[in-house]
Structure 1
Amino acid sequence: MARIIDTAVITRWTAASMAALEQRCAEIDRINVFPVADRDTGTNMLLTLRAASDELHRGLRADESAPSCAAAAAALAQGALVGARGNSGVILSQVLRGLSEAITEAAGPVGGTALHAGLERARRLATAAVAQPREGTILSVLAEAARAAASTGSGSVEEVAVAAAEAAAVALRATTAQLPDLAKADVVDAGGLGLLVLLDALVEVLTGRPSSTRPVRPVAAGAGGPVRCREALLIERESGSTEFDYEVMYLLDGSDDGRMAALRGELERVGDSVAVVGDGTPGGAGLWNVHVHCTDIGAALEAGIAAGRPHRITVLRFADQMEAASPARRFVRERAVLMAVAAPQAAELAREAGADVLEFTAGLPPDEDEITVALAGTRARHVALLPGDAGLTATAERAAAEARRTGQEVVVVRSSSALQGLSALAVHDPARHAGDDVAAMAEAAAATRTGGLLVAESEALTWVGRCQPGEVLGLSDGEVVLIAPDLAVGALWLAHRMLAPGGELVTALLGADADDELGERLAEDLRRTHPEVDVLVYRGGQTDYPLMLGVE
């Protein structure tokens, strides 16, 4: 039994919430009819909480002295913001942010006063995140929980948590009568149920008493008691969303409050279910998570580009999500290649070569769940999966195993870089037998030697000597093989070294901050010194290596 909220309580609550969401995820998905009946609210909340948990545990591992309660709560909120999935995930990120901010501002031990302040802050943030708040949603359930927490007037964290959870349960049952979509389907709000699961988990952690699995029964309008709750799902969308086909989400930085307000207005013009939430950095200069339902995907992305720097872009088609629930309609094509890519322009090259692309941010690789979802999203019976990063291979293998359990054939084609993935795609032939095609792609990837240039940030001892800040390190197969005075010289030296065993084709990918001149000079030098070699230069857009080289 806990008297205050501390780092240990936050850690246990996170674990208990994930376990409870995993247990009730399918139930929450089944009753999801608002704002779009795509059966993913439980899944999205679980994936968002897993991302939050991962960030929390990274903080725990990094801080040997154990992070403070405020630092732990902040890590949880930041992880949820970065990993938010769907409308429900975005709102959940704001619930965690509200609790985090209240814990940070608390003077002394974090008790009941901080908890009800956190729930009220969460209510305000979550409501502000949604362009058109509606009664009968998770927002209504959160509002009643916050109101009940404040009305206790208690400093006991247990009393406040219990009051909030009980009020949330009552508010959840009432959502059926508040929203026509829920009344037609005779269900309660899916997001509200997810929030209740989290509040019940908090009560369990604080009191030490296992929370019971609450029956979820809607309350009909004007009725004094519960009525029957069907599990059948009405495949209807909210009015105002039927005209939109896609859910678009992305992270965005490099902006400010004014441009983000303009972005929200522009997104409301092109679609609905708009949610724009940030991490609370003053002036809006921090990280934002953007969500919209629309048909014109390009317009949603262009609005983001005008506001800042969009990245980690996700686009889901509602029809695919709803039809995927029917096994007979799950696969609409026989073959696909899915490539994970951390460089936006390299991702476009992969798409042009015929691949489906899972785009991610360098340093934030996709987890097993994200890859599994992307595999399902190909809607292909057989998928060749290109991790494009040696560190992602094990995660890709686990995701492939999970996909195979659902009946999808997935083969991981080992590729340690985007260049090896592109080499594999260059020989991909959909008309060839699947096994032969996978073998050809694996052979092409393995035959591509890769290297890259990095600029040293500090003095260090390498395998080829001591480097100074600003000098350029040439890496081949993960090892430092040369030190050069600048990028142009380093590119030529590295290319010569990689061509020593032979080669017919050199492919260069320019990083996000690299000048076009770097690629032009390299191509010119190689055509003069190695006329027998073909040279291709593309913009890759990667942020880790100013230049990547592949030799085939």
Structure 2
Amino acid sequence: MPHESQPQHPDALDAEAVRTWSSLALAALGRAREDIDAINVYPVADADTGTNLYLTAESADRGLAEAFPEVTDGTGRTSLAEAVRAWAHGALVGARGNSGTILAQLLRGVADVLGDERAERAGPAGPAERGQQAGQGPGGLLARALTRAAEEAYAAVAHPVEGTMLTVAGAAARAGEAAGAAAGTAAEVARAAYDGARAALAETPGQLAALGRAGVVDAGGCGLVVVFGALWQALSGQEAAAEPVRGRAVPVPQSPDPCAQEEDGPAYEVIYLLEASEGAVAELRERLDGLGDSLVVVGGDGLWNVHVHVDDPGAAVEAGVVAGRPYRIRITHFGDERRRARGERAQRAVVAVVPGEGLAGLCGEAGATTVLVRPGEPPAVAELLDAVRRAHAREVVLLPGGAELRAVAAAAAEQARAEGVRVAVIPTRSAVQGLAALAVHDPEGSFDEDVVAMTAAAGATRYGELAVAERQSFTSAGICQAGDVLGLIDGDVAVIGSGLAETAEAVLDRMLGSGGELVTLVLGPDVPDVVAERLEAYVQQGHLAVDTVTYRGGRYSAPLLVGVE
């Protein structure tokens, strides 16, 4: 249940105020999300800015509630520092899109100041104290927090552009600073920031050509005005404006299609969480900046949220692998997003569960929405359902990629069907079967025929895998010792060997014994290229009519996956 706004002391800046701000911001973004989506034209007209801001705020609110449940029921005495850090962390791990990523960094900036334990001692000041020293007390503290937030948001964006939510954040910070310098209360600083944000939002069409052509204000800035309105309401108990400012500052021709945009930018949006050092992230920024645009990297203390628009999603993910440990990888094709911006659904889409970043990039390039799975961490129903929704299609083909994921995929499909999406689950038992199915996918044909063809292609692909035994064990091929290389065919151990290449050759012999036209090799992160070259030559020598293709699976993939079609 949303937390109801209660009148606050005008200078109260505590955990209860953070709780109230979070709840009010979430509720207000929920009311405004469709309107904000409708005016989203920059940097990509994908009609999802309001939704991304809402989902980011929802994750932030959930992080606050889960970390400190006493904050949500009003019975505890959680510190301001604990509350605001939990709130900012929730936003970081759940940030969506360009706008949500920037919002997460704004909240981190607020947390950097309010999360200082010394902030706890800046309690409500009386009239005498407020008049003694301008800029001190909760009002001055909030002003400094808003300034830090704007500074960190600008720093997180590789190439800041004026006329965006960064401009709105900067204007709010300057207005808050002025109020804080005049010994304003926290509520007065919040009101000044809100008014400054609204005024700056009204000016954005004159600062950014794409907004001027469409006759709209910046969507991200519009959402930020909502957040500042919630801050003022939380501290004052007064209702903010029902809707953010949406008028134009200068006369501009009204486009019949406010989401019209040149479709010559990068084709994919890539987002992931990354565990890495600051030094590694600095190098990552440089590398990603050369791959695409709309680069935003937010976070700190070893955890980062990376957002970029690129034409080569695999390269963007591999850059994260070089920097550290990427996870929760999301790759979205803008073709689907632009259709959604025009109020359209794609007729059909594919959702593929894959065990490595390289495979995620490969499937993403083929147009699939991907879900990355790591060893021992199978995706939940909610994660697969989210991927189906992101695909934004009337019909979805779901490739679970493993027998153990069939139940989860079936449950996600059932929920999606209840939402009006036609979903078919193809029982792929390996990523290579998913690649085979994706290769014959025909989005222009009938749904039933497409599903039959993809199912047949997956079923006609024998799959093998090489793994390293962790301990002595009984297998269908005999007793293995720790460190032995196990060659699995169709899920059963068929070969026990001591070397990767030798065992792979034995597996290939058995798999090709019953014929085949194409061998697919997917190499794990630690397998050298020389092994792939050896296996390709081995297949060519023994089976002249068989072609071989090789891919890099990336981190989390098995040492070697083999498919024979």
Confirm or deny a common fold (TM above 0.5).
Answer: yes
| Partner residue, 1:164 | 190
Q: Is the 8 A contact 1:507 1:551 kept in 2?
A: yes
- Residue 245 of structure 1 is aligned with which of 265, 275, 278? 265
User: SS of the residue aligned with 2:300?
Assistant: coil
Inter-partner Cα distance in structure 2 for 1:421 and 1:436: 17
Does residue 1:41 correspond to 2:49, yes or no? yes
- Counterpart AA for 2:242: R
Deviation at 1:211, TM superposition (A): 5.2
- Residue 113 of structure 2 is aligned with which of 82, 102, 106? 102
User: SS of the residue aligned with 1:356?
Assistant: coil
- Counterpart AA for 1:89: G
| Partner residue, 2:35 | 27
| Partner residue, 1:122 | 149
CA 1:116–1:494: 2 relative to 1, 3 Å: farther
Q: Is the 8 A contact 2:39 2:216 kept in 1?
A: yes
Inter-partner Cα distance in structure 2 for 1:235 and 1:356: 22
- Residue 198 of structure 1 is aligned with which of 215, 221, 227? 227
| Partner residue, 2:218 | 189
Q: For structure 2, which runs of at least 5 residues remain unmatched after alignment?
A: 1-5, 70-77, 123-137
CA 1:469–1:116: 2 relative to 1, 3 Å: farther
Deviation at 1:421, TM superposition (A): 0.9
- Residue 297 of structure 2 is aligned with which of 277, 301, 307? 277
Inter-partner Cα distance in structure 2 for 1:213 and 1:468: 70
Inter-partner Cα distance in structure 1 for 2:155 and 2:288: 11
Does residue 1:87 correspond to 2:98, yes or no? yes
| Partner residue, 2:202 | 176
Inter-partner Cα distance in structure 2 for 1:279 and 1:74: 12
CA 1:262–1:480: 2 relative to 1, 3 Å: same
Paired-residue identity, %:
34
Deviation at 1:28, TM superposition (A): 0.9
Q: Is the 8 A contact 2:496 2:503 kept in 1?
A: yes
Deviation at 1:455, TM superposition (A): 4.8
Deviation at 1:395, TM superposition (A): 6.4
Deviations 1:413-469 (A, max 9, x none): 23343123124345656787532441343355467665644557xx77877699998
CA 1:359–1:70: 2 relative to 1, 3 Å: farther
Does residue 1:339 correspond to 2:356, yes or no? no
Q: Is the 8 A contact 2:352 2:399 kept in 1?
A: yes
| Partner residue, 1:216 | 244
Deviations 1:328-386 (A, max 9, x none): x655xx6554534453544576579xx4222455449666444422344xxxx644232
Does residue 1:291 correspond to 2:317, yes or no? no
Inter-partner Cα distance in structure 2 for 1:517 and 1:473: 20
- Counterpart AA for 1:28: I
User: SS of the residue aligned with 1:384?
Assistant: strand
| Partner residue, 1:374 | 391
Name the count of aligned residue pairs. 507
- Counterpart AA for 2:244: V
Inter-partner Cα distance in structure 2 for 1:299 and 1:443: 28
Mean CA deviation greater in 116-125 or 256-265 = 256-265
Inter-partner Cα distance in structure 2 for 1:178 and 1:437: 46
The 5 A counterparts of 1:107-506 are: 107=118, 109=120, 112=138, 115-130=142-157, 133=160, 136-150=163-177, 153=180, 160=186, 163-164=189-190, 167-180=193-206, 187-201=216-230, 214-218=242-246, 234-235=258-259, 244-246=264-266, 248-250=268-270, 256=280, 259=283, 262=286, 266=290, 274-280=294-300, 287=304, 289-291=306-308, 297=311, 312=329, 314=331, 316-317=333-334, 321-322=337-338, 324-326=340-342, 331=346, 337-346=350-359, 350=363, 355-359=366-370, 361-363=372-374, 368-376=385-393, 382-388=395-401, 390-391=404-405, 394=408, 398=412, 402=416, 405=419, 409-425=422-438, 428=441, 433-442=446-455, 444-445=457-458, 452-455=465-468, 487-488=500-501, 491=504
Deviation at 1:84, TM superposition (A): 4.4
User: SS of the residue aligned with 1:388?
Assistant: coil
CA 1:164–1:416: 2 relative to 1, 3 Å: farther
| Partner residue, 2:127 | none
| Partner residue, 1:539 | 551
Inter-partner Cα distance in structure 2 for 1:134 and 1:212: 28
Q: Is the 8 A contact 2:37 2:47 kept in 1?
A: yes
- Counterpart AA for 1:164: A
- Counterpart AA for 1:163: V
| Partner residue, 2:75 | none
Inter-partner Cα distance in structure 2 for 1:88 and 1:40: 9
User: SS of the residue aligned with 1:22?
Assistant: helix
Q: Is the 8 A contact 1:246 1:316 kept in 2?
A: no
Inter-partner Cα distance in structure 1 for 2:313 and 2:507: 41
User: SS of the residue aligned with 1:194?
Assistant: helix
Deviations 1:62-96 (A, max 9, x none): xxxxx998687667656655664443233213213
Deviation at 1:26, TM superposition (A): 0.3
Deviations 1:142-198 (A, max 9, x none): 2343345555659x9x95367325632453245223532656766543212312333
- Counterpart AA for 2:107: L
CA 1:262–1:445: 2 relative to 1, 3 Å: closer
CA 1:43–1:393: 2 relative to 1, 3 Å: farther
Deviations 1:307-341 (A, max 9, x none): 966985746447x64554446x655xx65545344
CA 1:221–1:443: 2 relative to 1, 3 Å: closer
Q: Is the 8 A contact 2:357 2:554 kept in 1?
A: yes
Instruction: Name the TM-score, length of structure 2 as normaliser.
Output: 0.66
User: SS of the residue aligned with 1:411?
Assistant: strand
- Counterpart AA for 1:172: R
Inter-partner Cα distance in structure 1 for 2:450 and 2:283: 47
User: SS of the residue aligned with 1:246?
Assistant: coil
Inter-partner Cα distance in structure 2 for 1:194 and 1:345: 35
CA 1:375–1:136: 2 relative to 1, 3 Å: closer
Inter-partner Cα distance in structure 2 for 1:466 and 1:104: 56
- Counterpart AA for 1:422: L
Q: Is the 8 A contact 2:63 2:86 kept in 1?
A: yes
Alignment RMSD (CA, Å): 5.7
- Counterpart AA for 2:51: T
- Counterpart AA for 1:141: V
- Counterpart AA for 1:291: V
Q: Is the 8 A contact 2:109 2:152 kept in 1?
A: yes
Instruction: Name the TM-score, length of structure 1 as normaliser.
Output: 0.67
CA 1:244–1:473: 2 relative to 1, 3 Å: same
Inter-partner Cα distance in structure 1 for 2:559 and 2:67: 29
Inter-partner Cα distance in structure 2 for 1:77 and 1:13: 12
CA 1:191–1:472: 2 relative to 1, 3 Å: same
- Counterpart AA for 2:29: L
